[in-house]
Structure 1
Amino acid sequence: MQLSAYTKEFQTNLTIAFPVMMGQLGHVLVGLVDNIMIGRLGAAPLAAVSLGNSLVFIALSLGIGFSFAITPLIAEADGSGNIEQGRSYFHHGIILCGVNGILLFLLLLLAKPILNYMDQPPEVVALAIPYLEIVAFSMIPLMIFQAYKQFADGLSQTKYAMYATLIANVVNVIFNFLLIYGVWIFPRLELQGAAIGTLISRFFMLWFIWEILRRKKKFKSYFIWSKKELFKSAIFKRILALGFPTALQMLFEVAIFAGTVLLAGTLGTNPQAANQIALNLASMTFMIAVGLGVTATIRVGNQKGLKNYKNLRRVALSTFLLVFVIEAVFAVGFILLKDILPIMYIDNAEVIALAAQLLIIAALFQLSDGLQVVILGALRGLQDVKIPTIICFIAYWIIGFPVSIYFGSADNMGSMGIWMGLLAGLTASAVMLYFRFNYLSRKLIVEQP
């Protein structure tokens, strides 16, 4: 098949993906704003945010990963024109995501004592615990927001979540400024102020998306609630069957990144602060790939509903090619700007130098990271989640993390060695997941009557 058969899909892919990219970048920008503002307070507060968020990101991966199950189900129902089925998935998804948010909040509170046993600098742990307590509560509005977001994404209406997230970021910036530094009548709360700003912005985000979706004509039929529809065990089971493995996929990846935070913490406060800077920058480019991953889920799910498997494969491959090109551009940017980007965060020569080294590896691994997240999105559109979950576990924890532990010790490669493990794990994931998609898509074409 000619290259133009794939490149002609780029515009459609980007039209769907752009609002998702901006919305996902909005989540990361919350962290970026927190990091930049807190970085002005010193290395220890910045490292404390990194440590506290290492647990939050694990919970976040479980919750967001679980909510991803809603999108392919809605997309398939939309592709086959079944509004009633789509409405049922939407309502059950909101209930499950709400319960999930409460459970994750409680889980984070119970996990607080773990920070005392992670061989982290004591001054960092003391600052991280109050920050974690407040951010943990924001999991409840965030998970319910995710249910609305994934529902709208499944209908290819990706712009509304973007609006909610970007406006919520403005709210976050305002309250961060007021509460971190104690401006006007507001008290100076430093890290706790950043956490409260995040909490307020996430409640605002939920209110905004609920308000805007319920008023739009396209969504009105989905907002008709019926008591008899609320508790259908078969629907709950189907969402759980897709959501639980998807949550594990995200958990395995986010946990290995959280593991790098803990490993960097054993090297000292400055290496941990540098690790946080490099992770935050890499996560922003990763969110571009997440947007294309959602696009792959939506478009593959639609084609699955239509039973057009040849087009399904072509559309999916076009998203793989597009993400590789985009991430390659960012890779060049990271290498060229490696000594400049860390200056945005902190005025500490050692931290800046360490972060610059890590950005060289980040430039390389984001190629693999981008590919693997988009291929996972395509497999999710096929509703294939169990085997990809096993692949993710092997890639990250059997291949990647042992490399990080071995090369990441102080007497070996240090921070650079930790990130070599990330590169190995993400590359292994991308290769194995591609083979899985290639096998399933070809099989569907061959077996189609």
Structure 2
Amino acid sequence: MKNLFKNYKTDLIATFRLSLPIIAGQLGIMIMGLVDTIQVGRIDKGAVESLAAAADANGILINISIIGYICLQIVSPMVSKAKAEKDFAKCHLLLKSSLWVAILMGIVCSIAVVAFGLNMEILQQPPQIKTLTQEYLWIMTASTIPAFLFSAMKSFTDGLSHTKVAMNITWTALLLNIVLNYFLINGIWIFPTLGLKGAGYATCIARVYMLIAITYYVFRSGKFKDYLDATLRVDEMSALIKNILKVGIPSGFQGFFEIAAFYGAVVMMGWISIEHKAAHQVAIGFVSLTYMASTGIATAGGIRVGAGVGERNRSAIFKAGTAALLMGIIFMSICGILMLSFNDFFASYVKDEGVIVLAAQLIIWGGIFQLFDGVQAVSIGILRGIQDVNIPTLITIFAYWGVGLPLCYVLGFVYDLKHIGIWIGLTLSLLASASLLSWRFYNKVGKMEL
């Protein structure tokens, strides 16, 4: 083990330095959602119903919008590859092309969210939360295009290794979101008491701020002048947009099938009781927090792998991917130990005692599957670095829909393990995904032509 870390010391340090601001930024985004959950969970009246409604609305929104977010993330390794090839004009062109893709995907995803939200009955969830869910969903959907445009700008800056830009903006947006939540949820000062809707408005305002801030910085700071001044080959933009969509959409569906499986678990929890559903929302908030951190490592790994592809250096690709996986394993193992040790504490911010007990049980299983979740997340990221997306998409379909969801149902309802059975099914799906995706990376790198 000592020799392993010695051999990868340089790559681990490089990956750590690149990934740390990305992780911090990803955590900021997830903490924004977690803060919403915490502040909504402390409403004096209707907290359980609000948490359940948020679980439904966020499930619909994330399931659909994840395709757009991940489609845009594929731009980072493309920019990194173009930078390694000294093609500054292509870096500029990738920025402009990704902005058009962001607008297109934002429109399509918003329409899909509205269509799904109007037909919520198919989910067979508690009817008393339908109106609240839809009101919150419509507010959040309004911020989809600004969020996608920010993601496109972030992919450009991350790909050029300026990862602190998005991090700083995200954390200032988090502070803005917390303050706005306080006023809008609780009706402080001149503001009406809006409850869950207040959390939605606060998030929308924060997302618009993030877009304005990163746009101003990229075009006015001067740090990207060499890229922005490079002569655009406008005739290539159409082909580049098509390539982003060609690689990005299958990559987006990888995220969709995973998130959809976890939302399937939300639906199954609703079949048990509204308290189980609220507990799932609490537990998944902490699990999602660590998952987003591992996607930061995945993004950094994908950027470094993309640079290796641009340099046509197989050894650099191999070492960049392995270093990212090692970082993911170390980080998620630490997170797993913390969840197993302090599960009761993490669940204690909700006022409802029944929800606290259930959430604490689920956080234990969240701690168990941290390692598998980290490996599969990083594997997907480094596979995007070599633009391998089609087979990995099939792997995710098999892992989450062929293994995970069937086991969630069988263990939860046939064997009557209820909420524990559902989370055991999720754990086994992550194990299958982690094993197959990591194997795919090493197999592909060994055979690819450079």
Alignment TM-score, normalising by the size of structure 2: 0.96
The one-letter code of the counterpart of 2:341 is L
Residue in 1 that maps onto 2:221: 216
- What is the CA distance between 1:2 and its match in structure 2? 4.0
1:238 aligns with 2:238: no
* Count of aligned pairs: 445
- What is the CA distance between 1:440 and its match in structure 2? 1.4
Q: Structure 2: how far apart are the matches of 1:155 and 1:215? A: 16
| Deviation digits for residues 312-356 of structure 1 (CA, Å, limit 9, x no counterpart) | 101211111111011111111101101111112x11221111111
- What is the CA distance between 1:112 and its match in structure 2? 1.2
Q: CA 1:89/1:301 → structure 2, altered by over 3 Å: closer, same or farther?
A: same
Residue in 1 that maps onto 2:63: 58
The counterpart of 1:12, out of the listed 11, 14, 17, is: 14
Q: How does 1:263-282 map to 2 (within 5 A)?
A: 263-282=268-287
- What is the CA distance between 1:106 and its match in structure 2? 1.9
1:402 aligns with 2:406: yes
Stretch of structure 1 that moved more, 106-115 or 184-193 = 106-115
1:438 aligns with 2:445: no
- Alignment check: 8 A CA contact 2:77 2:304 kept: no
The counterpart of 1:174, out of the listed 154, 173, 179, is: 179
- What is the CA distance between 1:190 and its match in structure 2? 0.8
Q: Structure 2: how far apart are the matches of 1:315 and 1:326? A: 17
Name the SS of the counterpart of 1:251 in structure 2. Answer: helix
Name the SS of the counterpart of 1:187 in structure 2. Answer: coil
Residue in 2 that maps onto 1:205: 210
- What is the CA distance between 1:402 and its match in structure 2? 0.6
Q: Structure 1: how far apart are the matches of 2:420 and 2:369? A: 13
The counterpart of 2:81, out of the listed 53, 72, 76, is: 76
Residue in 2 that maps onto 1:87: 92
Residue in 2 that maps onto 1:135: 140
Q: Structure 2: how far apart are the matches of 1:410 and 1:262? A: 16
Q: CA 1:17/1:87 → structure 2, altered by over 3 Å: closer, same or farther?
A: same
Q: How does 1:91-102 map to 2 (within 5 A)?
A: 91-102=96-107
Q: CA 1:228/1:382 → structure 2, altered by over 3 Å: closer, same or farther?
A: closer
- What is the CA distance between 1:9 and its match in structure 2? 2.4
- What is the CA distance between 1:411 and its match in structure 2? 6.4
Unaligned 5+ runs, structure 1: none
Q: Structure 2: how far apart are the matches of 1:210 and 1:244? A: 25
Name the SS of the counterpart of 2:8 in structure 1. Answer: helix
Residue in 1 that maps onto 2:417: 413
Q: Structure 2: how far apart are the matches of 1:336 and 1:251? A: 31
Residue in 1 that maps onto 2:109: 104
- Alignment check: 8 A CA contact 2:67 2:256 kept: yes
- Alignment check: 8 A CA contact 1:66 1:246 kept: yes
Q: Structure 2: how far apart are the matches of 1:8 and 1:172? A: 38
The counterpart of 1:324, out of the listed 319, 329, 342, is: 329
The counterpart of 2:339, out of the listed 315, 323, 334, is: 334
Q: Structure 2: how far apart are the matches of 1:259 and 1:37? A: 25
Stretch of structure 1 that moved more, 17-26 or 119-128 = 119-128
- Alignment check: 8 A CA contact 1:67 1:243 kept: yes
Residue in 2 that maps onto 1:293: 298
Q: CA 1:44/1:201 → structure 2, altered by over 3 Å: closer, same or farther?
A: same
Q: Structure 2: how far apart are the matches of 1:34 and 1:226? A: 44
The one-letter code of the counterpart of 1:350 is G
Q: Structure 2: how far apart are the matches of 1:170 and 1:105? A: 26
Q: Structure 1: how far apart are the matches of 2:269 and 2:92? A: 46
Q: Structure 2: how far apart are the matches of 1:147 and 1:222? A: 16
Q: Structure 1: how far apart are the matches of 2:418 and 2:401? A: 19
Q: Structure 1: how far apart are the matches of 2:181 and 2:230? A: 37
- What is the CA distance between 1:226 and its match in structure 2? 7.5
| Deviation digits for residues 89-144 of structure 1 (CA, Å, limit 9, x no counterpart) | 11111111112112212221121123223121112222111000100111010000
| Deviation digits for residues 52-102 of structure 1 (CA, Å, limit 9, x no counterpart) | 111011122111111012112101101111101111111111111112112
- Alignment check: 8 A CA contact 1:404 1:417 kept: yes
The one-letter code of the counterpart of 2:308 is Q
The one-letter code of the counterpart of 1:19 is P
Alignment TM-score, normalising by the size of structure 1: 0.96
Name the SS of the counterpart of 1:184 in structure 2. Answer: coil
Stretch of structure 1 that moved more, 115-124 or 186-195 = 115-124
Q: Structure 1: how far apart are the matches of 2:80 and 2:233? A: 23
Q: CA 1:355/1:178 → structure 2, altered by over 3 Å: closer, same or farther?
A: same
1:428 aligns with 2:432: yes
Residue in 1 that maps onto 2:375: 371
- Alignment check: 8 A CA contact 1:90 1:222 kept: no
Residue in 2 that maps onto 1:353: 357
Q: CA 1:3/1:221 → structure 2, altered by over 3 Å: closer, same or farther?
A: closer
- Alignment check: 8 A CA contact 1:267 1:410 kept: no
Q: CA 1:327/1:187 → structure 2, altered by over 3 Å: closer, same or farther?
A: same
The counterpart of 2:393, out of the listed 389, 396, 408, is: 389
Name the SS of the counterpart of 2:417 in structure 1. Answer: coil
Q: Structure 2: how far apart are the matches of 1:186 and 1:230? A: 51
- What is the CA distance between 1:224 and its match in structure 2? 4.7
Supply the RMSD in Å over aligned alpha carbons: 1.6
- Alignment check: 8 A CA contact 1:5 1:314 kept: no
Stretch of structure 1 that moved more, 114-123 or 350-359 = 114-123
The one-letter code of the counterpart of 2:106 is G
- What is the CA distance between 1:45 and its match in structure 2? 0.9
Q: Structure 1: how far apart are the matches of 2:72 and 2:442? A: 26
- What is the CA distance between 1:222 and its match in structure 2? 3.4
Q: Structure 2: how far apart are the matches of 1:245 and 1:130? A: 31
1:23 aligns with 2:28: no
The one-letter code of the counterpart of 1:274 is A
Residue in 2 that maps onto 1:125: 130
Q: CA 1:443/1:231 → structure 2, altered by over 3 Å: closer, same or farther?
A: closer
1:148 aligns with 2:153: yes
Residue in 2 that maps onto 1:258: 263
Percent identity between matched residues is 33
- Alignment check: 8 A CA contact 1:300 1:378 kept: yes
- What is the CA distance between 1:11 and its match in structure 2? 2.0
- What is the CA distance between 1:221 and its match in structure 2? 3.5
The one-letter code of the counterpart of 1:367 is L
Stretch of structure 1 that moved more, 294-303 or 85-94 = 85-94
- Alignment check: 8 A CA contact 1:57 1:258 kept: no
Q: Structure 2: how far apart are the matches of 1:311 and 1:257? A: 35
Unaligned 5+ runs, structure 2: none
